[in-house]
């Protein structure tokens, strides 16, 4: 499995801990930055993650910014991406089980680093259930 990760300056402090978790699980990582807490524009780091998902270079994406909104909005502009904003473990689990989310958007100003790690683990540990949810997910994309 390969995971593509991207964040803005608010997300940077959690990125290394998440990369460490992924490395412990022997997951290949594509790190699109950012690489410091210097202010940046999140779309510059999120579009490459979304492109990786759409092109099949990564299986899943991890996105981070202060609220999670900006990175989710950016990623969801891509037809092949279903990014879910999650602020608790159950949401991360359901995003995979029921919505076939292929990217998790973490609002780092509203969750602890430990909770972010737990959510990423839950996101990785679950797969889409399909069934009745597949019909709904099939109606998400436009055109």
- What is the CATH classification number for the domain harbouring 39? 3.40.1400.10
The answer as to whether 11 is a domain residue is: yes
The answer as to whether 101 is a domain residue is: yes
pLDDT of residue 140: 85
The answer as to whether 45 is a domain residue is: yes
The answer as to whether 143 is a domain residue is: no
Catalytic positions, written as ranges: 65, 98
pLDDT of residue 142: 82
Cα(41)–Cα(44) distance, rounded to whole angstroms?
A: 6
The answer as to whether 27 is a domain residue is: yes
Which residue range(s) make up the domain with 101?
Answer: 2-138
Q: Give, to the nearest 10 degrees, the angle between helix 113-125 and helix 12-24.
A: 40
Tokens of 33: 């930055």
pLDDT of residue 93: 98
User: What is the b/e burial string over 34-63, where b = at least 16 CB atoms within 10 angstroms of the residue's CB?
Assistant: beeeeebebbebbbbbbbbbeeeebebbbb
Identify the DSSP state of 12: H
pLDDT of residue 115: 98
pLDDT of residue 143: 67
The answer as to whether 36 is a domain residue is: yes
Cα(120)–Cα(125) distance, rounded to whole angstroms?
A: 9
Q: What's the structural domain count of the chain?
A: 1
The answer as to whether 105 is a domain residue is: yes
Query: Which residues does 105 contact at the CB level (< 8 Å), separation at least 6?
Result: 63, 64, 65, 68, 69, 71, 72, 75, 83, 84, 85, 86
In tens digits, the chain (143 residues) has pLDDT values of: 999 999 999 999 999 999 999 999 999 999 999 999 999 999 999 999 999 999 999 999 999 999 999 999 999 999 999 999 999 999 999 999 999 999 999 999 999 999 999 999 999 999 998 888 988 888 888 86
The answer as to whether 56 is a domain residue is: yes
């Amino acid at each position: 499995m390969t995971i593509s990760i991207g964040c803005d300056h608010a997300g940077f402090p959690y990125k290394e801990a998440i990369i460490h978790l992924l490395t412990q699980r022997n997951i290949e990582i594509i790190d699109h930055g950012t690489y410091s807490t210097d202010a940046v524009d999140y779309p510059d780091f999120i579009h490459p993650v979304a492109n990786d998902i759409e092109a099949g270079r990564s299986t899943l994406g991890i996105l981070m910014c202060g609220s999670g909104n900006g990175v989710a909005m950016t990623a969801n502009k891509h037809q092949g991406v279903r990014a879910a904003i999650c602020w608790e473990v159950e949401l991360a689990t359901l995003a995979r089980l029921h919505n076939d989310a292929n990217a998790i958007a973490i609002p780092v100003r509203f969750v602890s680093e430990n909770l972010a790690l737990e959510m990423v683990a839950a996101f990785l540990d679950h797969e889409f259930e399909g069934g009745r949810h597949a019909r709904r997910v099939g109606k998400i994309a436009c055109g």
